[in-house]
Amino acid sequence: MENKILTSPRTGDSCIHVKHKSGLDIYICEMKGFSSVEALFGTKYGSINTMFKTSEDKEYTTVPEGIAHFLEHKLFENEDCDVFELYAKTGASANAFTSFEKTCYLFSCSKNYQESLKILLDFVQKPYFTKASVDKEQGIIGQEIKMTNDNPDWRVFFNLLRSLYHNHPVKIDIAGTVESIAEIDAELLYKCYGTFYNLNNMVLAIAGNVSADEVLAICDEYLKPCEDKGLETVFPDEPDTIVRSEVREAQPVGTPIFNIGYKCVPCMGRERLRKSMAASLAVGIISDASSEMYQRLLNEGLINSSFGTEIFSGDGYFSVIFSGESSAPEKVRDAVAAEINRVKNEGFGEKEFQRNKKSMYGSLIRELNNVEAVANLMINSHMDGVGPYDAIEVLSEMTSADCLEFIRTELFDDKLAMSVVEGTV
């Protein structure tokens, strides 16, 4: 086992990273003065991993859309009981989520964390799927899919992704469709479980009122050593063009909702962290609430306080998204594009850059103020291939030239798509 103490030079915060003999990466942050504990046990397996193989397989396997999410639901049933019944005995609040690139099982508690940790490690390593239990879940997830289909923020976002990406599975809905999940059976679930729920592909992050020694003793007892099976996931080739520049959908909403996205070049690891930060600072300078454009669009009645930006990136995708509500989204799109083109030519002031840099520094420090946020920071940064405190260091090295370069080399009018959800009468 390899133990490493990671420390933030700026705040003095620290956590322990252990490469456990079972193959699992473990992050532990003892947070003095806090009462609660947040633990996440996650695998690098999300909705985009629809095509994969291990060194034991000759061919790549392609699985139905939504299977990672389906598996997340089904893991909560043990052979003899429901996992929630076990947590009910400790008082912990348990949950799970599936995103594009990962599935995480988590609990938060303020008492009996050792018992809850044992439950977490145990059930995630013990799959149990039957035809009857798979059939039962189709109904529940079917309702979840219908619920998200009624969520206009969800629809406007996925419609944008389908306009930006031709082939990359980031465009598919995380839960799949009622039709795709009908193809899922117990055998397929075991196949996916065996491939992705290998401890070499997983991470445990735990923060708050914990003792590293206690956590590691429980891990030693509960983790079953895994052989690294050389997992490979592949994605179809993705052209750098967009699919369509505009998509609209009708739904019962108030003011129309929009997502405006630029398709950019994807990258991984520390380069992705750097690029995300440059992108975030750059779009902040252009459009955050302190910018000239934001105030102008407010004055013109084109946006309201819901206006915001997001840097959306992962394995094989990277985009910059402007979102909000507007009765004239096309005018917002044109204004954003015009401002980006103006900045390409004229640049921006060092003062604006420093202001946004300070603001981002503040938000990175604030993240360390909260048990849940620290646990998420540890697991997310590991999955992104960086350390939990790397962001503050990367930020300190960031210059206005980096931000300008991002705008000049990544944001182009022909890579711009707009998705709108507007009200039905």
Rounded to 10°, the helix 212-222/113-124 angle is: 30
Minimum distance, C-beta of residue 331 to another protein, in the bound complex (Å):
15
By CB under 8 A, tell whether 369 contacts another protein.
Answer: yes
User: Is residue 58 within the footprint of another protein (CB under 8 A)?
Assistant: no
Span near another protein by CB under 8 A; candidates 196-204, 250-258, 275-283, 310-318? 250-258
Q: Does 3 bind another protein (CB under 8 A)?
A: no
Residue among 24, 205, 368, 377 that touches another protein (CB under 8 A) = 368
DSSP conformational letter for 348 = -
| 295 lies in the binding site for another protein (CB under 8 A) | yes
Residue 192 lies near another protein (rule: CB under 8 A)? no
Report, in Å, the least distance between residue 71 CB and another protein. Answer: 17
Q: Is 85 among the residues that bind another protein (CB under 8 A)?
A: yes
Closest CA relative to residue 48, chosen from 103, 95, 96 = 103
Q: Which of 3, 9, 140, 182 touches another protein (CB under 8 A)?
A: 140
Residue 336 contacts residue 287 (beta carbons within 8 Å): yes
Site string for another protein, 377-396 (x = CB under 8 A): --------------------
- Residue 179 near another protein by CB under 8 A: no
15: which strand partners?
A: 6
**How far apart, in Å, are the Cα atoms of 375 and each of 7, 37, 121, 303?**
15, 9, 16, 35
Q: Are 417 and 164 spatial neighbours (Cβ–Cβ below 8 Å)?
A: yes
DSSP letter at 77 equals B
Residue from 60, 130, 147, 221 in contact with another protein (CB under 8 A):
147
> Which regions of 218-366 does DSSP assign to beta strands (E)?
232-233, 246-251, 257-263, 308-314, 317-325
| 207 Cβ contact list (under 8 Å, min separation 6) | 15, 28, 29, 31, 37, 38, 39, 371, 372, 374, 375, 378
301 binds another protein (CB under 8 A): yes
Per rule CB under 8 A, count of chain residues that contact another protein: 74
Q: Does 150 bind another protein (CB under 8 A)?
A: yes
Are the C-beta atoms of 153 and 325 separated by less than 8 Å? no
Binding to another protein (CB under 8 A) within 337-366 occurs at 355-356, 358-363, 365-366
Distance from C-alpha of 333 to C-alpha of 311, rounded to nearest angstrom: 17
Least distance between another protein and beta carbon 365 (Å): 5
Question: What residues are annotated to the active site?
Answer: 72
Q: Is 89 in the site for another protein (CB under 8 A)?
A: yes
Closer CB to another protein, residue 92 or residue 383?
92
The correct pick among 56, 139, 237, 397 for binding another protein (CB under 8 A) is 139
Which segment (43-51, 189-197, 245-253, 273-281) binds another protein by CB under 8 A?
245-253
Q: Which is nearer to another protein, 14 or 306 (CB)?
A: 306
Letters for 252-281 (x = contact with another protein by CB under 8 A, - = none) are xxxx-x------------------------
Q: Which contacts (CB < 8 Å, 24+ apart) does range 115-118 have?
A: 115/89, 115/90, 116/37, 116/39, 116/87, 116/90, 116/92, 117/39, 117/206, 117/215, 117/218, 118/218, 118/221, 118/222
Do 277 and 394 form a contact (C-beta atoms < 8 A)? yes
Restricted to residues 210-229, the positions that interact with another protein (CB under 8 A) are: none
**Distance linking the first and last C-alpha atoms of the chain:** 63
Locate 295 and state its tokens: 């105030």
3-state secondary structure of 105: strand
**Looking at beta carbons only, is 101 or 288 nearer to another protein?**
288
User: Least distance from C-beta 347 to another protein, angstroms?
Assistant: 18
Asked if residue 325 binds another protein (CB under 8 A), the reply is yes
